[in-house]
A and B are shown apart, each in its own frame.
Chain A
Amino acid sequence: MILKHFARKYLREEVLPSTFCPGCGLGIIINCFLKAVEELGYSNLNDFIFCSGIGCTAWIPSPHFKADSIHTLHGRAVAVAFGVKMVRPEHHVVVFGGDGDIAGIGIGHLIHAAKRNLEIVVIMANNFTYAMTGGQLSPTTPFESLTLTSPYGNIEKPLDVVKVIDAAGASFAARWTTYHIIPLIRTIKTAIKKNGFSFIEVVSQCPTIYGRRAGFKSAYDMLKYFKEHSVPIEKAKNMSDEELKDKFVVGIFVDREKLGFTSLYKQVINKARVKL
């Protein structure tokens, strides 16, 4: 018998090979997520509901995961997830999205879900660009980077989405890259178990669009770059902005114990019923 990759028990065989380009980091994110699920003891995805928007990343759960999933409008996955989670609080509701989907068009919903500390997990694949539409500027495109819509170099500083989540008061926020598989798996496990809003940014290689334009020769080249340019958060604390200019600060940025929205809403129902 030929042994199968561990993730395939959670995937729809009929959609493999995936539509992702060779070497795309999104496959590594799938593996890390499903490894976390496996290590938490789930033999299938029945306890999960997945929401995604539009973009390459949004295709992670839909159609790949053998699970209930809803592939929504561009930017709206977190809003849809809010409705889903309120009606199915016993399920783990997980959102996957690109930097454009989550932190561009959808950032309003993201901040408010973080502020409400809604008990969902949001995994944002940051490939620095709008990949599905051919490689335009995104909110996380590095300064001076060339994209289709910044042909003279990006004049905007990238948005630190993890900081935004922190400021909004969510329970949990972390950043890793697709190079950091072991800590990423561990972090996803923590996020799934957390009773509050959990945000994980995964810096991910898009070798076809961003990588090629930025001069990377292969997917592995990008993984190596991620490794060499990552700084753990503890170390970054003692580094200057100049030193951190082209670095990815990785690690767990926020981890607070705090009541989540669905538990608070239960209190509202109790108050309303006492009054009756």
Chain B
Amino acid sequence: MNNVYFWEGNVACAEGALIAGCKFFAGYPITPQSEILDRLAFRMPEVGGIFLQMEDELAAINSVIGASWAGAKAMTATSGPGFSLMQEGIGYAIMTETPCVIVNVQRAGPSTGQATRCAQGDFMQARWGRHGDQMLIVLAPNSPQEMFDLTIDAFNLAEEYRTPVILLSDEFIAHMQERVEVPSKVNLISRRKLKDISEAPFGGSLIPPIASLGDDFNILVTGSTHDEYGYRKTADPIVHDRLVRRLMNKILLNADKIKRVEMQNLDNADIGIVSYGGTSRSVYEASDLANEKGIIIGHVRLKTLWPPPEKEIKALAERVKVIIVPEMSLGQLSLEVERIVEGKAEVILLSKIGGLPITPHEILSKIFEVLR
């Protein structure tokens, strides 16, 4: 029997983490993420897990890394400025292949910007926020139900691919209250553990098995360039090339399995839209309104932002002349869509900043403007 709750997105995320088996949460207060922190402060001890309020976001992400290497499923959550502070740690987690989940409830920047307002300005930062070549997984929910579901997904993907996974939410979804169904049984994935000391924990296969600190395999974890046994080889061009390419490839070659995407009306679309997160809710409504007027919107809604579902976006571009990309930024997702469609369709940005969501009517008038 599934249980049904009426939760806001942040609470659904916290509860999803607990169901996913998260046993370590470290965070630092920041709007609009704080309800995740507050919820886990009382919920985590109930399940015998660890909740820590840290001295800053650097401490939060780094203690999550320590906890994950000690064997726990671990998560942190933040917003805007806190996400910027965590970037160095996320880069370390990528390089060391540390399974962990980072929730970023987007708010309006730059800097402290509009602390309590919604935005989608971290799309590129989530992907490119750190120095060096790298890849990771970014998921984007568009409802409290998905805050719950995708948090569980994020843990599963982190464990399966030995990588940090970012749940890129936004203020709109995080504070929206809706019905959330909690299934009585969920499928959980756990990291593949090293069985023998001769196995390589940092190479040998695309996703190597992991040993925890304390398992007595004398594991060497380092964020510096290392060989498959963890020994620093910072001056070796071949070792570096092999490591960094493998780290990219373990995500890119599995992009199809990582991909979560929703498609509507692609076959007979008059116009295309690619969206994610809070904005996609307005696209649904705009789609209904357009339907009444006889216009069919082909909608590709991304749940996996990185690696992007290229095939689906390309398929949309094959069917329509114009793709509108509504986003609460001055153009980030639109750039990626442009790159993917390679000119097969015209990509038109509908952007809005200032903290108020893009309305269905704004989308509709853009459609009329384009189709005229």
A-to-B contact residues, CB < 8 Å: 12, 15, 46, 49, 51, 62-63, 66-73, 75-76, 79-88, 91, 108-109, 112, 265, 268-269, 271-273, 275-276
* Contact among A12, A15, A83, A269 for B24, CB-based, below 8 A: A83
Stretch at the interface among B45-53, B287-295, B301-309: B45-53
Q: Which of B48, B54, B67, B231 contacts A269 (CB 8 A)?
A: B48
With A76-B58, A84-B70 as contacts: A63 and B89 at CB distance below 8 Å: no
Contact of A83 with B74 in the complex, beta carbons under 8 Å:
yes
Can you spell out 19 A-B residue pairs with CB atoms less than 8 angstroms apart?
A46-B216, A49-B214, A62-B222, A69-B213, A72-B223, A73-B62, A73-B88, A75-B58, A79-B54, A79-B59, A82-B63, A83-B65, A83-B67, A87-B67, A87-B70, A109-B55, A268-B45, A273-B45, A276-B46
Q: How far is the CB of B134 from chain A (nearest CB, A)?
A: 15
Q: For residue A115, which residue of chain B has the nearest CB?
A: B55
Closest chain-A Cβ to B272's Cβ sits at a distance in Å of 43
- In the complex, what distance in Å separates the CA atom of A66 from the CA atom of B219? 9
Contact with A along B269-308 (1 / 0, CB 8 A): 0000000000000000000000000000000000000000
| Chain B: minimal CB distance from A110 (Å) | 10
Question: Quick one: closest A residue to B63, CB to CB?
Answer: A83
B215 at interface, CB cutoff 8 A:
yes
Q: Across the interface, do B56 and A273 meet the contact criterion of CB distance under 8 Å?
A: no
Q: Determine how close the nearest CB of chain B comes to the CB of A78; give it in whole angstroms.
A: 8
A268 to B41, CA, bound (A): 10
Q: Is the CB of B46 within 8 A of A79?
A: no
Q: Are A87 and B71 in contact (CB under 8 A)?
A: yes
Chain B residues whose C-beta falls within 8 Å of the C-beta of A275 in the assembled complex:
46
Task: Find A81's partner among B23, B66, B92 (CB 8 Å cutoff).
Answer: B66
In the complex, which residues of chain A have a beta carbon less than 8 angstroms from the beta carbon of B48?
Answer: 269, 273
Residue of A nearest to B64 (CB): A83
CB atoms of B63 and A79 under 8 A apart: yes
Question: A72 — which chain B residues lie within 8 A by C-beta?
Answer: 62, 65-66, 92, 223
A27 to chain B, nearest CB (A): 18
Decide if B232 is an interface residue (CB 8 Å cutoff): yes
Chain B positions within 8 Å of A, measured between CB atoms, are 23-24, 26, 42, 45-46, 48, 50, 52, 54-56, 58-59, 62-72, 74, 88-89, 92, 213-224, 230-232
User: Out of B23, B58, B213, B231, which one reaches A63, CB within 8 Å?
Assistant: B231
Contact partner of A86 (CB less than 8 A), chosen from B58, B67, B213, B217, is B67
Known: A83-B70, A269-B48. A68 touches B63 (CB 8 A): no
CB-defined contacts of B46 to chain A, threshold 8 Å: 272-273, 275-276
Chain B residues with Cβ below 8 Å from A269 are 45, 48
Partner of B70, one of A49, A79, A109: A49
Q: Which residue of B lies closest to A273 (CB)?
A: B46
B24 CB → nearest A CB, Å: 6
Let me know if B55 and A84 touch, CB within 8 A.
no
Cβ of B333 to closest chain A Cβ, rounded Å: 30
Contact A86 to B62, CB < 8 A, known contacts A71-B220, A72-B92: no
**Residues of B contacting A80 in the complex (Cβ-Cβ under 8 angstroms):** 62-63, 65-66, 69
- Other A-B contacts than A82-B26, A83-B70, 11 sampled, CB-CB below 8 A, are A67-B218, A68-B215, A71-B220, A73-B62, A79-B66, A80-B69, A81-B66, A83-B64, A87-B23, A87-B66, A88-B213
Q: Are A68 and B66 in contact (CB under 8 A)?
A: no
Asked whether, in the complex, the Cβ of A82 is within 8 Å of the Cβ of B220, the reply is no
Q: Which residue of B is nearest A86, CB measured?
A: B50
**Smallest distance from the beta carbon of B94 to chain A beta carbons, Å?**
12
A68 touches B213 (CB 8 A): yes
Contacts of A276 in B (CB 8 A): 46
CB B209 to nearest CB in A, in angstroms, measures 15
- Are B223 and A71 in touch, CB under 8 angstroms? yes
Contacts of B65 in A (CB 8 A): 72, 80, 83
Q: A68-B219, A87-B72 are in contact. Are A108 and B24 (CB under 8 A)?
A: no
